[in-house]
Amino acid sequence: MIKYNTPDQPRQLRLDTSTSCNAGCLSCHRFLTKRRGRMSDELLLEILNDVSKWDEPLEEIIPVNYGELFYCLDWYMILKLIDDMLPHTDIVIPTNGSLLDEDKLKQLITIKNIFVINFSINAYLPETYKAFMGLESSNLERIKEAMSFLKQERPDINLWASMVYDPAYQSEKEKELFVDYWKEYAFPQVIAASNCGRYELRIRTSLPCRSIFSDMVVGFDRKLTSCCFDPGFNINLGYYTGDLKKDWKNLQLEELRRLHNEGFRSRIIECFQCSFA
């Protein structure tokens, strides 16, 4: 049976800086919760200052959880603080790209430690894009222009074009067309849609979830989770105390991992409903 060990610190940290988003993606779990808010500047600084003191640098940080980073008025401040305070940590930015105008792009390329920008596109056909994303298909041209600009000005940044694939939304042919079209602009990423309560699973897995042994999310209200498929922070995993390495192995998280490793993930309703492992 598959089992995982808990490392001394998380590999990836996601910051729930804002829950605001201008899209309405059909596969998104954000709409399973009414949780809305914004992380205070004080909490953001506290977390970054805490993590900056680790002997082993944090490997990867994502500056947003279920929001759209560029929908935030203070998006540049957030990235600049991360860049300055965690100089040895890769920044990974998920975005739908619809708000990346020329001014934002010129600011964005000044952030030194960006490792990946993942453009969530999810469609090849304009009509699929509009229906899936809840955004105008004219954004597809904006995204291409943004990618071309970034490739020219910051060739060190890895650009991804992602599709969360679910045959309920996209055809197999559209998936093939998506990959063939976007490979000219970015590295295509086709990700199988995971479920956590969006619909009833026919077969449920008992395998432990790898993400709870590598990832951590700090909510705008200090709530903790170790899974991006818990948008409501419904699993009680405690609160950020000011010492994230200590919180990483708190009693609630260690019990969650034990249940997963011993084949009892069904005892956690969110994990019982989830297809990710």
Read off the pLDDT of residues 34-84 as tens digits, 9 standing for 90 and up: 899 999 999 999 999 999 999 999 999 999 999 999 999 999 999 999 999
**Per-residue confidence at 197, pLDDT binned at 50, 70, 90?**
low
| Torsion over CA: 65, 66, 70, 75 (sign) | negative
pLDDT at position 204: 86
What distance lies between CA 22 and its chain's CA centroid? Answer: 16
- pLDDT, residue 199, reads 72
pLDDT in tens, 177-196: 999 999 999 999 998 887 77
Tokens of 130: 């509009």
210 vs 203: CA distance, rounded Å? 19
Structure confidence by residue, pLDDT tens digits, 24-34: 999 888 888 88
Flag whether the pTM goes above 0.85. Answer: yes
For the cut 90, the answer to whether the pLDDT of residue 150 exceeds it is: yes
Give me the mean pLDDT over the 96-111 stretch: 97
Q: What pLDDT, on the 0 to 100 scale, is given for residue 40?
A: 98
Sorted by sequence, the CB contacts under 8 Å of residue 29 that are 6+ apart come out as 66, 196, 197, 198, 228, 229, 231
69-72, long-range: CB within 8 Å, 24+ apart, which pairs? 69/17, 69/18, 69/93, 69/94, 69/95, 70/95, 70/99, 70/100, 70/104, 71/18, 71/20, 71/21, 71/22, 71/99, 72/17, 72/18, 72/20, 72/38
Alpha-helical runs (H) found in 69-158: 75-85, 102-108, 126-133, 139-153
What pLDDT, in 10s, does the model give residues 137-148? 999 999 999 999
Q: What is the pLDDT of residue 124?
A: 97
Beta strand 12-15 with 114-120: parallel, antiparallel or unpaired? unpaired
Residues above pLDDT 90, as percent of the chain: 84
Cβ proximity of 257 and 209 under 8 Å: no
Mean pLDDT of the 152-157 span: 98
The pLDDT value given to residue 273? 86
Half-sphere exposure (Cβ direction) of 18: Cα atoms closer than 13 Å: 15
Is the pLDDT at 94 greater than 90? The verdict is yes
- Give residues with Cβ within 8 angstroms of 75, minimum separation 6: 69, 104
Average pLDDT over residues 157-165: 97
- Going by pLDDT thresholds of 50, 70 and 90, the confidence category of residue 101 is very high
* AA letter at 120: S
How far, in Å, CA of 221 to CA of 149, rounded? 36
- What is the SS3 assignment for 98? coil
Q: How far is CA 80 from CA 26, 94, 219, in A?
A: 31, 16, 20
- Burial class of residue 216 (count of CB atoms within 10 Å of its CB; 0-12, 13-18, 19+): buried
Which structure tokens are listed for 102?
């020329």
Sorted by where each starts, the structural domains of the chain and their CATH numbers stand as 12-272 (3.20.20.70)
